[in-house]
Copies of this chain bind each other. A is one copy, B any other.
Amino acid sequence: MSTDATTLDIETGATAVAHPNMALIKYWGKRDRDLILPVTGSLSMTLDIFPTTTRVRVGEQEADTIALDGRPADEVTTRRVTGFLRLVRDITGRHEAAAVDSVNSVPTGAGLASSASGFAALAAAACAAYDHSLPPRELSRLARRGSGSACRSVFGDFVVWHPGDSRPPRDDLGSYAEPVPAGDFDPAMVIAIVDGGGKAVSSRKAMQHTVETSPFYLPWAAGIAADLERMRAAIGRGDLQEVGRIAEHNALSMHATMLAARPAVRYLQAGTLAVLDAVAALRAGGIDAYATIDAGPNVAVLCDPRDEIRVARAVSELPDVSATHIAHRGPGTTVTAGAAA
Protein backbone atom coordinates (compact mmCIF):
# COMPACT_ATOMS: atom_id res chain seq x y z
CA MET A 1 0.00 0.00 0.00
CA SER A 2 1.16 3.47 -0.83
CA THR A 3 1.51 6.05 1.93
CA ASP A 4 0.67 8.84 -0.48
CA ALA A 5 -2.49 10.49 0.80
CA THR A 6 -4.18 10.75 -2.58
CA THR A 7 -3.83 7.13 -3.61
CA LEU A 8 -4.54 5.99 -0.05
CA ASP A 9 -7.89 7.70 -0.39
CA ILE A 10 -8.69 5.74 -3.51
CA GLU A 11 -7.40 2.43 -2.21
CA THR A 12 -9.38 2.50 1.04
CA GLY A 13 -12.65 3.53 -0.58
CA ALA A 14 -15.18 2.13 -3.03
CA THR A 15 -18.00 3.64 -5.08
CA ALA A 16 -21.16 1.92 -6.25
CA VAL A 17 -24.11 2.98 -8.39
CA ALA A 18 -27.64 1.60 -8.02
CA HIS A 19 -30.99 2.46 -9.58
CA PRO A 20 -34.50 2.64 -8.15
CA ASN A 21 -36.98 -0.08 -8.98
CA MET A 22 -40.74 0.05 -9.47
CA ALA A 23 -42.66 -2.92 -8.14
CA LEU A 24 -45.22 -4.51 -10.44
CA ILE A 25 -46.14 -6.87 -7.62
CA LYS A 26 -45.69 -4.95 -4.40
CA TYR A 27 -43.79 -5.63 -1.22
CA TRP A 28 -46.43 -4.90 1.39
CA GLY A 29 -46.16 -6.40 4.85
CA LYS A 30 -43.32 -7.85 6.91
CA ARG A 31 -43.34 -11.18 8.67
CA ASP A 32 -40.23 -10.10 10.59
CA ARG A 33 -39.54 -6.43 11.17
CA ASP A 34 -35.94 -6.71 12.34
CA LEU A 35 -34.80 -9.00 9.56
CA ILE A 36 -37.10 -7.35 7.01
CA LEU A 37 -38.57 -10.62 5.86
CA PRO A 38 -41.69 -10.02 3.77
CA VAL A 39 -45.01 -11.83 4.00
CA THR A 40 -45.17 -12.28 0.23
CA GLY A 41 -42.91 -12.34 -2.78
CA SER A 42 -42.69 -9.26 -4.98
CA LEU A 43 -41.49 -8.38 -8.46
CA SER A 44 -40.11 -5.17 -9.92
CA MET A 45 -38.57 -3.46 -12.88
CA THR A 46 -35.24 -1.77 -12.20
CA LEU A 47 -35.32 1.70 -13.78
CA ASP A 48 -32.73 3.55 -15.83
CA ILE A 49 -33.31 6.93 -14.20
CA PHE A 50 -32.41 8.59 -10.89
CA PRO A 51 -29.40 6.50 -9.81
CA THR A 52 -27.83 6.77 -6.40
CA THR A 53 -24.02 6.94 -6.26
CA THR A 54 -22.47 6.05 -2.94
CA ARG A 55 -18.85 6.16 -1.87
CA VAL A 56 -17.63 4.46 1.28
CA ARG A 57 -14.17 5.08 2.75
CA VAL A 58 -12.90 3.12 5.74
CA GLY A 59 -10.16 3.50 8.35
CA GLU A 60 -9.81 7.24 8.16
CA GLN A 61 -11.78 8.23 11.25
CA GLU A 62 -12.98 7.15 14.69
CA ALA A 63 -16.72 6.94 14.06
CA ASP A 64 -19.07 6.50 11.10
CA THR A 65 -20.07 9.66 9.26
CA ILE A 66 -22.95 9.84 6.83
CA ALA A 67 -23.39 12.54 4.21
CA LEU A 68 -26.33 12.74 1.81
CA ASP A 69 -26.05 15.02 -1.18
CA GLY A 70 -23.05 16.69 0.46
CA ARG A 71 -24.73 17.41 3.79
CA PRO A 72 -24.59 15.48 7.07
CA ALA A 73 -27.56 13.11 7.30
CA ASP A 74 -30.28 13.67 9.91
CA GLU A 75 -30.31 11.67 13.11
CA VAL A 76 -32.85 9.04 11.99
CA THR A 77 -31.00 8.33 8.76
CA THR A 78 -27.65 8.29 10.52
CA ARG A 79 -28.90 5.70 13.02
CA ARG A 80 -30.32 3.55 10.22
CA VAL A 81 -27.17 3.71 8.10
CA THR A 82 -24.73 3.12 10.98
CA GLY A 83 -26.84 0.13 12.03
CA PHE A 84 -26.45 -1.21 8.53
CA LEU A 85 -22.69 -0.56 8.56
CA ARG A 86 -22.42 -2.61 11.77
CA LEU A 87 -24.12 -5.47 9.95
CA VAL A 88 -21.64 -5.16 7.07
CA ARG A 89 -18.73 -5.22 9.56
CA ASP A 90 -20.20 -8.35 11.19
CA ILE A 91 -20.27 -10.05 7.80
CA THR A 92 -16.87 -8.85 6.63
CA GLY A 93 -15.10 -9.31 9.98
CA ARG A 94 -13.77 -5.74 9.83
CA HIS A 95 -13.93 -3.08 12.54
CA GLU A 96 -12.96 0.27 11.05
CA ALA A 97 -15.46 3.10 10.98
CA ALA A 98 -16.71 4.26 7.60
CA ALA A 99 -17.34 7.57 5.89
CA VAL A 100 -20.39 7.35 3.63
CA ASP A 101 -21.03 9.91 0.89
CA SER A 102 -24.22 9.31 -1.05
CA VAL A 103 -25.56 11.37 -3.90
CA ASN A 104 -29.08 10.80 -5.08
CA SER A 105 -30.25 12.06 -8.44
CA VAL A 106 -33.98 11.96 -7.70
CA PRO A 107 -35.22 15.54 -8.05
CA THR A 108 -36.31 17.06 -4.75
CA GLY A 109 -40.02 16.70 -4.26
CA ALA A 110 -40.27 14.03 -6.95
CA GLY A 111 -41.95 11.82 -4.42
CA LEU A 112 -39.89 8.81 -5.45
CA ALA A 113 -38.32 6.72 -2.73
CA SER A 114 -34.54 6.47 -2.82
CA SER A 115 -34.14 3.91 -0.05
CA ALA A 116 -34.00 0.99 -2.51
CA SER A 117 -31.22 2.42 -4.68
CA GLY A 118 -29.64 3.94 -1.58
CA PHE A 119 -29.21 0.71 0.35
CA ALA A 120 -28.31 -1.31 -2.75
CA ALA A 121 -25.49 1.12 -3.52
CA LEU A 122 -24.44 1.30 0.12
CA ALA A 123 -24.34 -2.49 0.48
CA ALA A 124 -22.19 -2.85 -2.63
CA ALA A 125 -19.87 0.07 -1.84
CA ALA A 126 -19.43 -0.91 1.81
CA CYS A 127 -18.60 -4.54 0.98
CA ALA A 128 -16.10 -3.37 -1.61
CA ALA A 129 -14.58 -0.83 0.78
CA TYR A 130 -14.13 -3.56 3.39
CA ASP A 131 -12.54 -5.75 0.70
CA HIS A 132 -15.27 -8.30 0.91
CA SER A 133 -16.73 -9.89 -2.19
CA LEU A 134 -20.31 -11.19 -2.06
CA PRO A 135 -22.09 -13.08 -4.82
CA PRO A 136 -25.07 -11.02 -6.11
CA ARG A 137 -27.65 -13.19 -4.33
CA GLU A 138 -25.86 -12.65 -1.01
CA LEU A 139 -25.51 -8.95 -1.75
CA SER A 140 -29.29 -8.81 -2.27
CA ARG A 141 -29.87 -10.49 1.12
CA LEU A 142 -27.59 -7.91 2.71
CA ALA A 143 -29.22 -4.93 0.96
CA ARG A 144 -32.62 -6.25 2.11
CA ARG A 145 -31.58 -5.67 5.71
CA GLY A 146 -31.20 -1.94 4.96
CA SER A 147 -34.50 -1.50 3.14
CA GLY A 148 -36.58 -4.42 1.94
CA SER A 149 -36.98 -3.41 -1.69
CA ALA A 150 -33.25 -2.57 -1.94
CA CYS A 151 -32.60 -6.27 -2.54
CA ARG A 152 -34.35 -5.94 -5.90
CA SER A 153 -32.18 -3.00 -7.03
CA VAL A 154 -29.11 -5.25 -6.86
CA PHE A 155 -30.24 -6.71 -10.19
CA GLY A 156 -31.20 -5.04 -13.43
CA ASP A 157 -34.27 -5.39 -15.63
CA PHE A 158 -36.97 -7.57 -14.03
CA VAL A 159 -36.37 -8.93 -10.56
CA VAL A 160 -38.25 -11.18 -8.17
CA TRP A 161 -37.77 -11.10 -4.39
CA HIS A 162 -38.51 -14.43 -2.78
CA PRO A 163 -40.11 -14.18 0.66
CA GLY A 164 -38.33 -17.20 2.14
CA ASP A 165 -40.24 -19.56 4.36
CA SER A 166 -38.24 -19.94 7.56
CA ARG A 167 -40.34 -20.70 10.66
CA PRO A 168 -39.57 -19.03 13.04
CA PRO A 169 -38.27 -16.12 10.92
CA ARG A 170 -34.51 -15.92 10.60
CA ASP A 171 -32.22 -14.37 8.04
CA ASP A 172 -32.58 -17.53 6.05
CA LEU A 173 -31.09 -18.25 2.70
CA GLY A 174 -34.53 -18.17 1.11
CA SER A 175 -35.31 -14.45 1.11
CA TYR A 176 -33.25 -12.95 -1.68
CA ALA A 177 -33.73 -11.36 -5.08
CA GLU A 178 -32.90 -12.79 -8.49
CA PRO A 179 -33.42 -11.79 -12.10
CA VAL A 180 -36.55 -12.81 -14.00
CA PRO A 181 -35.85 -13.96 -17.55
CA ALA A 182 -37.41 -11.27 -19.73
CA GLY A 183 -36.04 -11.84 -23.24
CA ASP A 184 -36.37 -8.59 -25.13
CA PHE A 185 -39.40 -7.36 -23.19
CA ASP A 186 -38.58 -3.68 -22.75
CA PRO A 187 -41.66 -1.62 -21.87
CA ALA A 188 -41.67 2.05 -20.99
CA MET A 189 -42.72 3.36 -17.61
CA VAL A 190 -44.16 6.87 -17.53
CA ILE A 191 -44.07 8.22 -13.99
CA ALA A 192 -46.59 10.95 -13.19
CA ILE A 193 -45.67 12.98 -10.13
CA VAL A 194 -48.89 13.99 -8.39
CA ASP A 195 -49.19 17.02 -6.15
CA GLY A 196 -51.08 17.28 -2.95
CA GLY A 197 -51.82 15.25 0.08
CA GLY A 198 -49.20 16.88 2.23
CA LYS A 199 -47.35 14.84 4.80
CA ALA A 200 -48.53 11.26 4.59
CA VAL A 201 -47.91 8.43 6.99
CA SER A 202 -44.65 6.57 6.26
CA SER A 203 -44.96 3.40 4.22
CA ARG A 204 -43.32 1.45 7.06
CA LYS A 205 -46.05 2.52 9.48
CA ALA A 206 -48.83 2.15 6.92
CA MET A 207 -47.67 -1.37 6.09
CA GLN A 208 -47.64 -2.45 9.72
CA HIS A 209 -50.98 -0.78 10.48
CA THR A 210 -52.54 -2.52 7.47
CA VAL A 211 -51.18 -5.93 8.47
CA GLU A 212 -52.57 -5.42 11.97
CA THR A 213 -56.00 -3.92 11.26
CA SER A 214 -57.16 -4.57 7.70
CA PRO A 215 -59.51 -7.53 7.16
CA PHE A 216 -58.24 -7.60 3.57
CA TYR A 217 -54.54 -7.98 4.28
CA LEU A 218 -54.41 -11.76 4.54
CA PRO A 219 -56.66 -12.32 1.50
CA TRP A 220 -54.40 -9.93 -0.42
CA ALA A 221 -51.27 -11.81 0.60
CA ALA A 222 -52.90 -15.16 -0.19
CA GLY A 223 -53.31 -14.20 -3.84
CA ILE A 224 -49.74 -13.06 -4.50
CA ALA A 225 -48.03 -16.39 -5.23
CA ALA A 226 -50.39 -17.18 -8.11
CA ASP A 227 -50.05 -13.66 -9.55
CA LEU A 228 -46.25 -13.90 -9.33
CA GLU A 229 -46.32 -17.09 -11.37
CA ARG A 230 -48.58 -15.55 -14.00
CA MET A 231 -46.51 -12.35 -14.04
CA ARG A 232 -43.21 -14.21 -14.53
CA ALA A 233 -44.68 -16.16 -17.41
CA ALA A 234 -46.11 -12.98 -18.97
CA ILE A 235 -42.76 -11.17 -18.69
CA GLY A 236 -41.03 -14.18 -20.24
CA ARG A 237 -43.23 -14.04 -23.31
CA GLY A 238 -43.29 -10.22 -23.44
CA ASP A 239 -47.04 -10.00 -22.88
CA LEU A 240 -47.50 -6.32 -21.97
CA GLN A 241 -51.29 -6.58 -21.56
CA GLU A 242 -51.08 -9.43 -19.07
CA VAL A 243 -48.17 -7.83 -17.18
CA GLY A 244 -50.16 -4.60 -17.03
CA ARG A 245 -53.40 -6.20 -15.91
CA ILE A 246 -51.71 -8.10 -13.10
CA ALA A 247 -49.70 -5.05 -12.00
CA GLU A 248 -52.75 -2.79 -11.97
CA HIS A 249 -54.79 -5.33 -10.01
CA ASN A 250 -51.94 -5.79 -7.56
CA ALA A 251 -51.54 -2.06 -6.92
CA LEU A 252 -55.25 -1.26 -6.65
CA SER A 253 -55.85 -4.19 -4.33
CA MET A 254 -52.87 -3.15 -2.18
CA HIS A 255 -54.39 0.32 -1.81
CA ALA A 256 -57.71 -1.39 -1.11
CA THR A 257 -56.16 -3.20 1.87
CA MET A 258 -55.25 0.24 3.26
CA LEU A 259 -58.69 1.75 2.68
CA ALA A 260 -60.12 -1.07 4.80
CA ALA A 261 -57.65 -0.56 7.68
CA ARG A 262 -59.02 0.95 10.91
CA PRO A 263 -58.58 3.85 10.58
CA ALA A 264 -58.10 3.90 6.82
CA VAL A 265 -54.76 4.82 5.26
CA ARG A 266 -55.21 6.62 1.98
CA TYR A 267 -52.33 7.48 -0.34
CA LEU A 268 -54.68 7.87 -3.29
CA GLN A 269 -55.20 11.57 -3.99
CA ALA A 270 -57.61 13.36 -6.31
CA GLY A 271 -54.71 13.75 -8.76
CA THR A 272 -53.96 10.02 -8.52
CA LEU A 273 -57.47 9.21 -9.69
CA ALA A 274 -57.23 11.83 -12.43
CA VAL A 275 -54.20 9.93 -13.78
CA LEU A 276 -56.11 6.64 -13.49
CA ASP A 277 -58.94 8.24 -15.49
CA ALA A 278 -56.41 9.31 -18.14
CA VAL A 279 -55.00 5.77 -18.29
CA ALA A 280 -58.51 4.36 -18.67
CA ALA A 281 -59.17 6.84 -21.47
CA LEU A 282 -55.93 5.88 -23.23
CA ARG A 283 -56.92 2.23 -22.98
CA ALA A 284 -60.37 2.98 -24.31
CA GLY A 285 -58.56 4.63 -27.23
CA GLY A 286 -56.62 1.46 -28.00
CA ILE A 287 -53.37 2.25 -26.17
CA ASP A 288 -52.05 -0.50 -23.88
CA ALA A 289 -51.43 1.52 -20.73
CA TYR A 290 -51.61 0.18 -17.19
CA ALA A 291 -51.14 1.91 -13.88
CA THR A 292 -49.28 1.01 -10.75
CA ILE A 293 -49.15 3.07 -7.56
CA ASP A 294 -46.64 2.79 -4.71
CA ALA A 295 -47.34 3.94 -1.16
CA GLY A 296 -47.79 7.53 -2.32
CA PRO A 297 -49.89 9.61 -4.71
CA ASN A 298 -47.75 9.12 -7.85
CA VAL A 299 -48.74 6.85 -10.71
CA ALA A 300 -46.38 4.84 -12.92
CA VAL A 301 -47.90 3.93 -16.28
CA LEU A 302 -46.58 0.86 -18.06
CA CYS A 303 -46.87 1.06 -21.83
CA ASP A 304 -45.25 0.17 -25.12
CA PRO A 305 -42.21 2.43 -25.77
CA ARG A 306 -43.82 3.44 -29.08
CA ASP A 307 -46.66 4.99 -27.03
CA GLU A 308 -44.55 6.58 -24.30
CA ILE A 309 -44.67 10.15 -25.63
CA ARG A 310 -48.41 10.00 -26.15
CA VAL A 311 -48.89 8.59 -22.65
CA ALA A 312 -46.54 11.17 -21.13
CA ARG A 313 -48.41 13.96 -22.89
CA ALA A 314 -51.80 12.71 -21.71
CA VAL A 315 -50.79 12.60 -18.06
CA SER A 316 -48.63 15.74 -18.03
CA GLU A 317 -51.61 17.79 -19.18
CA LEU A 318 -53.46 17.05 -15.95
CA PRO A 319 -53.52 19.99 -13.53
CA ASP A 320 -52.47 17.88 -10.54
CA VAL A 321 -49.45 16.36 -12.31
CA SER A 322 -46.39 18.47 -11.55
CA ALA A 323 -43.80 16.44 -13.46
CA THR A 324 -43.55 13.43 -15.73
CA HIS A 325 -40.57 11.10 -16.15
CA ILE A 326 -40.05 8.34 -18.69
CA ALA A 327 -38.07 5.29 -17.60
CA HIS A 328 -37.06 2.00 -19.15
CA ARG A 329 -35.48 -1.07 -17.70
CA GLY A 330 -32.20 -0.23 -16.04
CA PRO A 331 -28.99 -1.88 -14.84
CA GLY A 332 -28.22 -3.66 -11.59
CA THR A 333 -25.91 -2.32 -8.93
CA THR A 334 -22.31 -1.88 -10.03
CA VAL A 335 -19.11 -1.03 -8.19
CA THR A 336 -17.49 1.64 -10.30
CA ALA A 337 -14.27 2.17 -8.33
CA GLY A 338 -12.68 0.56 -5.30
CA ALA A 339 -10.80 -2.33 -3.78
CA ALA A 340 -13.19 -5.20 -4.52
CA ALA A 341 -15.54 -5.58 -7.48
Contacts and interface: CB of A to CB of B under 8 A. Distances in A.
Contact of A260 (B252, B268, B271): B252
Range, interface on chain A = 20 to 34
Contacts of A157: none
Contacts of A95: none
Copies of this protein in the assembly total 2
B273 A268 contact: yes
Determine the main DSSP class of A at the interface with B: helix
A276 B266 contact: yes
Contact of A215 (B248, B253, B268, B269): B253
A222 B256 CA distance: 17
A313 interface: no
Interface of A: 197, 215-216, 218-220, 222-223, 245, 248-249, 252-253, 255-257, 259-260, 262-264, 266, 268-274, 276-277, 320
A252 B213 CA distance: 14
Contact of A223 (B215, B268, B269): B215
Given A215-B220, A215-B223, A220-B215, A252 B264 contact: yes
B256 A216 contact: yes
Given A215-B253, A256-B256, A260-B256, A270 B274 contact: yes
